[in-house]
Structures are given as structure tokens and as C-alpha cells.
Structure 1
Amino acid sequence: MNTNTATALDPRRVQRRTVLILSAAQLLSGIGNGASLSVGSLLAVQLSGSNAWAGAVTTVMTLATAVAAMPLAGLAERRGRRAGLATGVLSGMAGAILVVAATVTGLFILLLAGAALLGLGTAANLQARFAAVDLAEPEKRGRSLAVVVWAVTAGAVAGPNLIRPGAVVGEALGLPGIAGPFIFSAAGLGLAALLLLVGLRPDPLLHALALRGEAARPPGRQRGVLKRGLAAVRSSPSARLAMLAVVTAHAAMAAVMSMTPLHLQLLTEGPLHPGAGHAHAASTDVFVLIGFTISLHIAGMYALSPVMGWLTDRAGRLPTLVLGHGLILAAALTAGLGAGRPELVTVGLVLLGLGWSAATIAGSTLLAESVAPGDRVLAQGVSDTLMSGAGAVGAGMSGLILSWVGYPGLNAGAAALAAVVLGAIVLTGRRGPAPASAAG
């Protein structure tokens, strides 16, 4: 797109269309990812023949998301947001199809390959929130980003409820019933990719560059994208703070959330004893409790995203970061000190979701405006890489931490992470406010 064409288009109108298209695509792909996560552990156990592999699908997806963030960011830098997002989402669709093939063939390795490609779809979903601020006015960046994050809510809520209808669809197609949710995944991701390819025109990133009289990086292999992204973040104190806030919030959330179902099971039933006569009835009760708690946690993460975006714009980036990590601290104290009471654990998980929402939206907004325009896409890629990596480490280490120091100790670790960020924000405030914008 040349500068004359870009100038002829109203940036506000393009921005409204961009947010609408991104939100609709997030909703469709969110349904796909929610359906996948709802039965991934069950399928891993079924195909591997061992409970030890129950977390394999989630782990592979998370690691693939971290690994894919920088290549997708590099693609967006060269070809625009549409190319980067559509590539990731189409890869996720291919992953869902591979998982369906795994259920038919019984090949565990095929399941892991599908999970890895689904991780690319998740990486694209994460980067969509940054695409929402390419053209946003400075005073509306938080709200634009938050609306796209909020669009995931419907998928996150609907996905786990697609197991039964998915089984009906799968069996109607002559496939194993457990393949059904992944059919929904493939369909949702395919529609999201089509919507991005057709609807995301003009490309928000390329349009923003054209308005500034700049050009995208030339096509071809670009080396050192991670190094350039890290250098951009290191060069800005505000970007470093934003990165710290987002990464620690995600690590704390992943660690506590991943072990809460097990803690609630141990709290209400005690250790499992095969052959116990009351096991079935008790398991039914605890599954209801776990499902209720995790659903409220997910609602806390996404449902109030527009409110967090509004606060980010009206109250400021740093005050909203204080709110976010203050809520994470309160969540850890509530769940940790109330570890013996399921209702307090549930309250803690809701606060944890709300804190994650505020910290992620405010931190992502601050990052987007704290680096030079030419470095923004790669800095955002670094953020997603570290965020996903921190989530994988947090979830992976949480089981060991739980076995060493128990659920209260796990929450104490999350509280310590939040306290570190709050301390960093205080130090930043004493040095002076963060720059309003490096991006214009």
C-alpha cells in the first residue's frame, strides 16, 4: 500500500473494521482451541496407554506457542499482520485435522504433531491482540486490545461444553466420538483463517507503516529477529517493566491454576485408593467443584477484559499494572491461607483471573507504545515467546512445588512474583512516569 492510498482511507474507520474482524476471528478460533483443550488430556492417556502422558498435549501446545511466536512476528514484520495471523491459524487447523487422524489410527506421535500445530494457532491468537493497536489512537489502545482479548471468552466457555455434541458429530461421520471436538476445532480455525484473509484489508500494520511513510521489511529470510526484539525491549525501561509484568503474571497464573484441580481433589477425597466403594460418587462431586472453579477463573481472565482496557486508558498503564499484580497477590494469599476451604480456593482463582487480565492488558499496551515503531512487532513477539515459555515452566514446575511445599507454598511463590513486580513499579514511579508513547 502506498502513502497516497493510505492517506485516502480514514484510519479510524479502518481501525474499527480491524477490531471487528480480529474479534470475530478470535471467537471462532477460541471455540476451536477450547474444544481441543477440553479432551486433549483424555486423548493423550487413551493413545499412550499411560496416565503419565496426560499433560502431553497441553505441554506440547504451550511449547510450540513459545517457539512459534518469533517466526510469526518476523513474518508479520515482512508481510503484514494478515500473513502472520492467517499462517498461524491455518497451521492450527491442520493440527486439528492431524489430531482427528490420530484418533482414527491410534498413533500417539500423530497426536503430538497435531498438538504442536495447534500451538501455532494459539501463538496467532496471542498476536491478534497486538494487531488491534497498530492503528489505535493512544488514548484508546487499551480498550482496542482488550476487546480482542475479550472475544476469546465465548470460545473458552463453549469449548469444554462441546464434548457431547462433538461425540455425536464424530460418530455420525464414522469417527471415534472423542474426535468430535477436534472437528469443531478444524471448522472454527478454518473459518477464522478465511475471515482474516478476506476481511483484514487493508492490513493494519502495513496501513500504519504507510501512514508514517515507511515500508515493511523486504521479503526473504530475516536473521536475528529474536536478537533485535530483545535489544528493543532492553533499550526501554518501560518496555522492560511491561515484559516483567506480563511474564510473571502468566507464570503465576499457570502454576496455581494447573494444580488447583488436583488440590481440590485431594482436599475433598484425599489420595485415590483403587477399589474404594465411594469413589464414583465422590468423583462426580469433585468434578462439579473443579469445573465450577475453573469456569469462574476463566471468566475472571476474559469476561471483564473491556473493563481492564478502559482502566488502562483512563487510570493509566502503571496504576492498572498495580491493580493487576495487587489482585494476584490477594489471590495467592486467599487461596494459600484458605487452602483447606474450597470456597476460598474458588475466590482466590477468580481474583487470580482478574489480576491476570489487568496485568496482561496493561502490560501489553505499555509494551506496544514503549518501543520504536520499527521494533514494535518483534518486541511483541519476544513478549509472547517469554510469556508462553513462562507458562510452560510454571505449569511444569508446579507439580514438583506442590509435592515439596504443598498448595499454600505454591501460592506463596505466586505472591512473591507479584510482590517483585509491585516493587519494580514503585521504583519506576520514583524515577518518573513512563513515556506516554514511543510509537506516536
Structure 2
Amino acid sequence: MDQLDTGKRNARVLAFCQALFICAISVDLTLTGITGYQLAPDKILATLPFALITVGAAVVTVFAAFVMERLGRRLGFALGALCGGAGGLVSVWSIVHGDFWLFCLGTAGVGAFQGFAQFYAIAAADSVHADYKSRAISTVLAGGVIAAVIGPLLASRAKDLFFDTAFAGAYLLVAVLAMLSAIGLLLFYRDIGMIDAQKTGDILPARPLREIARQPIFVAGVATTMVASAAMMFVMTASPLAAVACGFSIEDGASVIQWHLFGMFAPSFFAGRLVARFGVIRVFSTGIALMAACVVIATSSTALPAFHLALLALGIGWNMLIVCGTTLLSRSYRASERGKTQALSGLLGNLAATFSTLSAGAALQGLGWSTLNLLILPMLAVCLLLVLRWKGANRATLGEGIA
């Protein structure tokens, strides 16, 4: 098997691991806000365990990038999955014993899992030729489609399946799924270098990080992934609590997340091909429009179908922006610059998501569901301006293949 075939196989392995990761993380996304509310000594802390998922990811991001640069992605990804397994087990113990702060530690462990797993898509992009990058990214993201459907369902079904304490069984499932991911990575994933670097003999020296970060293509890519993550986490974190506050059940809240996760990953079957055919700008614009549609729907009605439709639009928009942003980022660095560039972009994305998650509970309580949704519109506007700046600066050199 040559290195290109290995790269394509790696994308399929990472798609499988993405499915396990999304299935595990969807349990946390569905139940952690509610579990935190039940365990919290002060209800204002209810969303803290949820926020610590993104905090854990942000803290681990830079560490994860350099660990994988030094030890290889196979061992790095497996280490991240083991962190998720440990976080799931700690969560089970804390729920059984009613320990809120230990539960926070468990969700932070799952966040560490996310800190490594967020590199699945760009790892796939690095191991294939330039004209296949967006498809490789989509292949990995497509692994979350089935998980998006069954994950929230498993969360609601498994919450009372084991032990005598509500939700403990669901977090045991998180641990099992993370461990299966670690096993799959160790058995089937293979470390290879960047295909384009091997083809062209990338012997150019690494540039300073500040020089890389000043490139319009890097700024556009980071802005796109940051805004996609921040807007999505801001609305998604609050949505189950908002649904319950509107009189709907926990199962209804789970169904809202289910529709959202389906929207996040179902477009992966065709998003990469859309980028290849129509270019980044058109797919990016569609993603922005869908996120704006989420705001319109959410501010128009608080009926359960409106929650479903708004979160579905948010998820599809997120997918398109992530594919576009990751494609741009993967073209902004040389092989010798990969570790530090990915560390910076991952850190910025996680910091944006962390701030959004931490502020979502307070925004929902202080401003309400409709106003909370309106707050993502300025984020979308800034992102649009930065991508248009990249388009103008690179029109002559990048051509219509990705622009």
C-alpha cells in the first residue's frame, strides 16, 4: 500500500473514530447541563461542567499538537481517547456519589479527548494531495452522522440503565466508546508525512509564527473556524436548558440536540465535493446564511419544531464553515510549520468556544433565548468581512479552484 492509499485509509479510520467520539461527546452535550443543574451547590454553576468540556479542550490543544508532532498522531490520538475514557469513569463515580466538583473534573477529561479529536480532520487533510483535502475532511466529519442520530438517543436510554443513580449509566457509555476509539487507533491508524511535502520536497525553512499568522488565508481560516465554533457552542449550550424552561421534557431536549448533531455531520457526505466544485466562497456564504436562518427561526417561535429546525440549520451551517475554514488552514502552512500552526489555530478556536460556553448560561438567564440568538449575528458579520478580505488579497494567485 503506497502512502496515498494509506492516507485515504487513515481518513476512513479517523471517520470511524470520529463516530465514536461524537457518540461519546453527544452524551455530554445532551445530559451535562441537566446533570450539572442537579449536582450544583449553586444553580448559577449549572453550566460549569458543560463549559469545562471546551475549557479542557482549550487547555490541551497546544499540548496535543506538540505531543503529536513529537510522538506521532497515532499515539497522540490514542492518548486523547484514553483521557476521554478516564473522564467518563470519573463522571460515573461523581454522579453516584453526588460530587459536583469531581463531575467537573470528569467533563474536563472528556474535553481533553476533544482537544485531540479536533485534529482528526486536519490530520486527514495533511495525508492527501491538495485536490483531495476537502473530501478527506468531509470523510472524517461524515463519521459523525450515525453518531449524531444515535448518540442523544443512547444518552436518554442509558441514563437509567446501570446503577441506581440517574445519568450514571450514560457516562459509563462515554468511557466505553472512548476506549474503543483508542483501540481502533492503535490497531489501524498509521503515521505518514504530509503528502504534498513529500511530492514537492518541502525543504523551505519554517517561518516565524507571526509571519504565518499575518497571512490573509490563515486569518480567514481561523476566523471561520472560531466563529463557527463560538456561535454553535453559544446556542447549543443553552438550547436544552431553554427547551426545558419552555416546558418540554428532558427527552425533548435530547431530540433538539439530536437534530442539531445530525445537521452538523450529515452534510459531510457532500460538503467537500461542494467546495471542490463551487469554491470556498460560495459554500462559506451558504454556511453563514444557514446560521443566520437559525437566528430568525429561534427568535420567531419557542415551539418544539422551531427548536428542532433552528438547531438543524445551525448544525448544517457549522459543518460548511468548518470544512471551508479547515481547508484554508491546511493550505496556510508548510510541513515544517505544521505543529505550531495547528496548535495556534486549535487554541484560538477552543478559546472562542470556551468563552461562548461559559457565557451561554448567564446570557440565557439574563437576556433570554431570543436575545441570546441575536448575539451571534455580529460574529457572523466579522467572519464574513475577513473572508472577503482574503478573497480580495488572493484572487490573482489562488485561482478559482478553492476560491
- Which stretch shows the higher mean deviation, 85-94 or 156-165? 156-165
Shift of 1:198: 1.9
Taking the TM superposition and a 5 Å limit, the aligned residue runs for 1:25-424 are: 25-163=17-155, 166=158, 170-171=162-163, 176=165, 178-201=167-190, 203-205=191-193, 230-231=209-210, 233-266=212-245, 268-269=246-247, 283-284=248-249, 287=250, 289-336=252-299, 338-339=300-301, 343-402=305-364, 405-424=367-386
Which letter maps to 1:129? A
Q: Distance in 1 between matches of 2:396 and 2:14?
A: 29
Structure 1 pair 212–93 and aligned structure 2 pair: CA distance change class (3 A): farther
Structure 1 pair 427–35 and aligned structure 2 pair: CA distance change class (3 A): closer
Q: Distance in 2 between matches of 1:372 and 1:206?
A: 9
Which letter maps to 1:317? V
Instruction: Give the one of 3, 7, 19 matched to 1:11.
Output: 3
TM-score (norm 2): 0.88
Structure 1 pair 50–235 and aligned structure 2 pair: CA distance change class (3 A): closer
Q: Secondary structure at the match of 2:395?
A: coil
Q: Secondary structure at the match of 1:170?
A: coil
CA contact (8 A) 2:288 2:380 kept: yes
TM-score (norm 1): 0.81
Structure 1 pair 433–213 and aligned structure 2 pair: CA distance change class (3 A): closer
Shift of 1:343: 4.2
Which letter maps to 1:251? A
CA contact (8 A) 1:134 1:204 kept: no
Shift of 1:74: 0.6
CA contact (8 A) 1:322 1:425 kept: no
Shift of 1:126: 0.8
Q: Distance in 2 between matches of 1:245 and 1:102?
A: 37
Deviations for 1:206-232, whole angstroms, at most 9, x for unmatched residues? 7776666679xxxxxxxxxxx96x525
Q: Secondary structure at the match of 2:133?
A: helix
Structure 1 pair 303–209 and aligned structure 2 pair: CA distance change class (3 A): same
Give aligned-pair identity as a percent. 26
Unaligned runs of 5+ in 1: 1-8, 216-226, 270-282
- Which stretch shows the higher mean deviation, 244-253 or 96-105? 96-105
Shift of 1:38: 3.4
Which letter maps to 1:315? F
Q: Secondary structure at the match of 1:420?
A: helix
Shift of 1:42: 4.1
Unaligned runs of 5+ in 2: none
Question: How many pairs does the alignment contain?
Answer: 398
